[in-house]
Amino acid sequence: MTETFKFHTEVRVRFAETDAQGIAHHATYLVWFEVARVDYLARFDGGYPGLQERGVEALTTEAHARYLGPARFNETIAIGVRCTGLRGARFRFEYHLTRGDDLIADGWTGHACVDARTFVPTRVPAYLAEAITAAERPSSS
Amino acid sequence: MTETFKFHTEVRVRFAETDAQGIAHHATYLVWFEVARVDYLARFDGGYPGLQERGVEALTTEAHARYLGPARFNETIAIGVRCTGLRGARFRFEYHLTRGDDLIADGWTGHACVDARTFVPTRVPAYLAEAITAAERPSSS
Amino acid sequence: MTETFKFHTEVRVRFAETDAQGIAHHATYLVWFEVARVDYLARFDGGYPGLQERGVEALTTEAHARYLGPARFNETIAIGVRCTGLRGARFRFEYHLTRGDDLIADGWTGHACVDARTFVPTRVPAYLAEAITAAERPSSS
Amino acid sequence: MTETFKFHTEVRVRFAETDAQGIAHHATYLVWFEVARVDYLARFDGGYPGLQERGVEALTTEAHARYLGPARFNETIAIGVRCTGLRGARFRFEYHLTRGDDLIADGWTGHACVDARTFVPTRVPAYLAEAITAAERPSSS
């Protein structure tokens, strides 16, 4: 598989996240994507809260999820996550959700940085853009 | 029954609100209580948003729920709601949830008005205290 | 606009659905899509519960949302919804969310009918496929 | 303080759990209570999933929470949890939520074991009642 994720985090399915089909409700996956983003960014100088302290908010502008297999109560789901497509105010995250060896979902989200007060788009701060670029740089062989 | 509610609203159980026991998850009832409070207050000069526009926030300080019977997907739940115990910054709401003739839950929540910027307690605004007192006054016979 | 929706429903933004950005959290939109699907299907012989009573479950296999503008507490959001792409076990729903004249989000979801016990794919029941096809047929002029 | 909890777990406040007041929504605390119960029970022979495998469900019959201070995005909340009042089919959990040295909330939930198919009350299984009693026994000095 060419799709490699250098960063992983995990969630355990909460009972409150299940629905009457006996599986995690599909809207919950967007919450897990967000948890994974926050964990991913936490390595970089204050993470998402650090971004907010600089007066920058990150909006979610688009979200996509494919559900390939169910997730059930109390199962541990590993989430591979990476940031791609940094360009001006915009960036994108991709996600792979696995339970053991099974890919149970994948997806991506689009984001834009805005001034926290005016909601006017603003470039991804340089410190963060550089840290993400370095983190996602392919290893040389 | 001596417990009469002059105001009622209703919710329909969303699929996302159910859990793997096939019933509405118990935390959802606090969300329904809140929906009922907002509907109750909407009759009074701008309702809860009107309170916020005056720089006042209402915090929830306590919540209690008794679950007497299940609520299932797509069922319509009637919520009787009333405001009691207005005193300074504090007030309290009570709730009766019925499906047809069955009482399926009841509960109450405690609240305090605070200044929206400082979170310092502030009296319930007079216009609202008076409107609630008038609305809850027992009818003369 | 050529994108016409014959069926609309609406939701009012709950306080519990907002987040610390002061707007409805983006995962909530998938819950609203689901509310809109259930309302859409309710016109057809028992709706989604009727499908379940026939031993058929509808899984969500894919979801996509674009967020074009914020939705705030207590705002009423109109949802245009239609069913497209019925093919064997699969079908798709499309959504347009507007507040007044503003399109604030759109999206689509993919679904598959399965046997409720075995989760083996099964054709969309004929009664439902026919009712949807009739409902979505373009009006003659 | 005489209120000692032998078992603790923790949650980190998710962004999706915050509301437009900038704090974790009060209904979320019931979800955290549930996470804490599941973690508490996980030490005992399969935990809550093990209970379900034996054909027993645990219903929530009552819930109470006091909110003493706000919880904000990304804060880590420690939850002290203990099981008390085992009696026939019924049991009760108590919770203390702290952020650093601050008690930010406390609460309790009431529960009843039922047969998973019939929802008829059934005694808490002996293996679990004994394990909980042993775990909660005061240490001798």
Q: How many Å lie between the alpha carbon of D26 and the closest alpha carbon of chain B?
A: 7
- pLDDT of residue C1 exceeding 70: no
What digits encode the pLDDT tens for the residues B37-69? 999 999 998 899 889 899 999 999 999 999 999
Interchain pair A62, C60: CB under 8 A: no
- Establish if B57 touches chain D: CB-CB under 8 angstroms: yes
- pLDDT of residue C87 exceeding 50: yes
Distances (CA, A) of A22 to A16, B21, B109, D113: 11, 8, 31, 19
Pull the structure tokens for residue B139.
Answer: 């009818």
Pull the structure tokens for residue C24.
Answer: 């409805």
Q: How many CB pairs under 8 A join B and C?
A: 29
- Establish if D69 touches chain B: CB-CB under 8 angstroms: no
Q: How many Å lie between the alpha carbon of B133 and the closest alpha carbon of chain A?
A: 37
Pull the structure tokens for residue C77.
Answer: 């959001």
Q: Which residue of D has its CA nearest to B62?
A: D66
What digits encode the pLDDT tens for the residues D75-130? 999 999 999 989 999 999 999 999 999 999 999 999 999 998 888 999 999 999 99
* Partner residue opposite A14 with nearest CB, options D15, D31, D74: D31
Interchain pair D26, B63: CB under 8 A: yes
All partners of chain D with 3 or more CB pairs under 8 angstroms: A, B, C
| Residue A91, CB-side half-sphere exposure with 13 Å CA sphere | 22
Task: Measure the CA–CA gap between D81 and D36, rounded to whole angstroms.
Answer: 7
- Cβ-based contacts of C15 with chain B (< 8 Å): 34, 38, 48
Q: What is the band of C2 on the pLDDT scale with cuts at 50, 70, 90? A: very low
What digits encode the pLDDT tens for the residues B78-125? 999 999 989 999 999 999 999 999 999 999 999 999 998 888 999 999
- Establish if A73 touches chain D: CB-CB under 8 angstroms: yes
Q: Taking the CB of residue D82, how many other CB atoms lie within 10 A of it?
A: 21
Q: Taking a C-beta distance cutoff of 8 angstroms, is the pair A114, A121 a contact?
A: yes
pLDDT of residue C140: 58
Which residue type, as a one-letter code, is found at position D135?
A
Report residue A55: phi and psi, to 5°: 80, 20
Q: Taking a C-beta distance cutoff of 8 angstroms, is the pair C87, C129 a contact?
A: no
Of A74, A17, A18, A9, nearest to D42 by C-alpha is: A74
Residues 6+ apart with CB under 8 A from D110: D60, D61, D62, D63, D90, D91, D92
H or E element, residue A108: strand A102-115
**Any alpha helices (H) in C3-125, and if so which ranges?**
28-41, 47-53
pLDDT of residue B140: 58
Q: How many CB pairs under 8 A join A and D?
A: 30
Q: What is the band of D45 on the pLDDT scale with cuts at 50, 70, 90? A: confident
Residues 6+ apart with CB under 8 A from C11: C32, C35, C36, C76, C77, C79
What digits encode the pLDDT tens for the residues A51-109? 989 999 999 999 999 999 999 999 999 999 999 989 999 999 999 999 999 999 999 99
* Partner residue opposite D27 with nearest CB, options B30, B62, B67: B30
Q: Which residue of A has its CA nearest to C67?
A: A61
- pLDDT of residue B134 exceeding 50: yes
Average pLDDT on A123-137 reads: 93
Task: Measure the CA–CA gap between D88 and C109, rounded to whole angstroms.
Answer: 46
Average pLDDT on B12-25 reads: 97
Q: Taking a C-beta distance cutoff of 8 angstroms, is the pair B26, B65 a contact?
A: yes
Of D93, D99, D103, D102, nearest to D35 by C-alpha is: D93
Task: Measure the CA–CA gap between A26 and A107, rounded to whole angstroms.
Answer: 12
Pull the structure tokens for residue A83.
Answer: 């940031």
Helix (H, G, I), strand (E, B) or coil at C43: coil
Average pLDDT on C60-82 reads: 97
Q: Taking the CB of residue B108, how many other CB atoms lie within 10 A of it?
A: 17
Cα angle: B19, vertex D98, A29; to 5 degrees: 30
Q: How many Å lie between the alpha carbon of B65 and the closest alpha carbon of chain D?
A: 5
Q: What is the band of D2 on the pLDDT scale with cuts at 50, 70, 90? A: very low
Cα D22 to chain centroid distance, Å, stands at 25
Q: Which residue of B has its CA nearest to D34?
A: B27
* Partner residue opposite B16 with nearest CB, options C34, C48, C49: C34
pLDDT of residue A20: 95
- pLDDT of residue D27 exceeding 80: yes
- Establish if D67 touches chain B: CB-CB under 8 angstroms: yes
- Cβ-based contacts of B70 with chain D (< 8 Å): 119
- pLDDT of residue C3 exceeding 70: no
> What is chain A's mean pLDDT, rounded?
93
- Establish if D15 touches chain A: CB-CB under 8 angstroms: yes
Task: Measure the CA–CA gap between A14 and D39, rounded to whole angstroms.
Answer: 11
Task: Measure the CA–CA gap between A98 and A69, rounded to whole angstroms.
Answer: 10
Task: Measure the CA–CA gap between D60 and D49, rounded to whole angstroms.
Answer: 16
pLDDT of residue C46: 85
Cα C37 to chain centroid distance, Å, stands at 3
* Partner residue opposite B49 with nearest CB, options C16, C30, C73: C73
Q: pTM of the predicted model, to two decimals?
A: 0.96
Task: Measure the CA–CA gap between B10 and D62, rounded to whole angstroms.
Answer: 21
Interchain pair A59, C30: CB under 8 A: no
Distances (CA, A) of B60 to B65, B116, D65: 14, 14, 10
pLDDT of residue B2: 42
Q: Taking a C-beta distance cutoff of 8 angstroms, is the pair A131, A139 a contact?
A: no
Distances (CA, A) of D106 to B109, D76, D77, D94: 15, 16, 12, 8
Of B83, B97, B74, nearest to B9 by C-alpha is: B97
pLDDT of residue B1: 43
Q: What is the band of A2 on the pLDDT scale with cuts at 50, 70, 90? A: very low
Distances (CA, A) of B101 to B76, B77, B78, C78, D60: 12, 11, 10, 32, 22
- Establish if C59 touches chain D: CB-CB under 8 angstroms: no
Residue predicted with more confidence, B2 or B57:
B57
- Establish if B116 touches chain C: CB-CB under 8 angstroms: no
Task: Measure the CA–CA gap between C91 and C87, rounded to whole angstroms.
Answer: 6
Q: What is the band of D8 on the pLDDT scale with cuts at 50, 70, 90? A: very high
Of A115, A99, A116, A98, nearest to A107 by C-alpha is: A98
Residues 6+ apart with CB under 8 A from A138: none
Interchain pair C20, D16: CB under 8 A: no
- Establish if D35 touches chain B: CB-CB under 8 angstroms: no
- pLDDT of residue B17 exceeding 70: yes
- pLDDT of residue C54 exceeding 70: yes
Task: Measure the CA–CA gap between A26 and A97, rounded to whole angstroms.
Answer: 13
pLDDT of residue B4: 84
- Establish if B25 touches chain A: CB-CB under 8 angstroms: yes
